[in-house]
Amino acid sequence: MFRRMLDTIPYYNAIAKRDERAKRTLPYLEAMLRAERYAILVAKEQSDILGFAISRYDDRLIWLEWLVVDSASRRKGVGSALLRKLIETAPRRRAHKVWCDTRTTNEPAKATFRKNGFREIAEVKNHWYGEDYILWEKLV
């Protein structure tokens, strides 16, 4: 699902897509889960995967690397449910904050983060892969 969704994201350039595809391999994801139980959260309906969140613990913070919702499941609260579950894991992970980034042009993601109580902390120009980002945080 990650690779399929990555190909459809209009906010990433070709270099970013290539590098992210190469990084997010099955062994990489398995290692994340071995290191931390809550690193990957999955929203399912029966056997269908509706979306997922990939995060990592980093010095008393949780860095949300990816929040992905299948196109057929968007605008149905799946992203918000994944964010709520991620925030719920923070105390068990000894974290006081969840933070992440979005492309400045990703309006659906920006709306989802705002709706779930995240605050914009900075806009970073010409950053990862030469693209512009907004950094977000939510204290827990």
Residue range 31-57, pLDDT digits in tens: 999 999 999 999 998 988 888 999 999
Could you read off the pLDDT of 76-134 as tens digits, one per residue? Answer: 889 999 999 999 999 999 999 999 999 999 999 999 999 999 999 999 999 989 999 99
Instruction: Give this prediction's pTM.
Output: 0.89
- pLDDT band per the 50, 70, 90 thresholds, residue 63: very high
Q: What is the pLDDT of residue 110?
A: 95
What CATH number belongs to 2-139? 3.40.630.30
Sequence spans of domains, the chain: 2-139
Contact between 131 and 98 under an 8 Å Cβ cutoff? The reply is no
How many CB atoms sit inside 10 A of residue 37's CB?
10
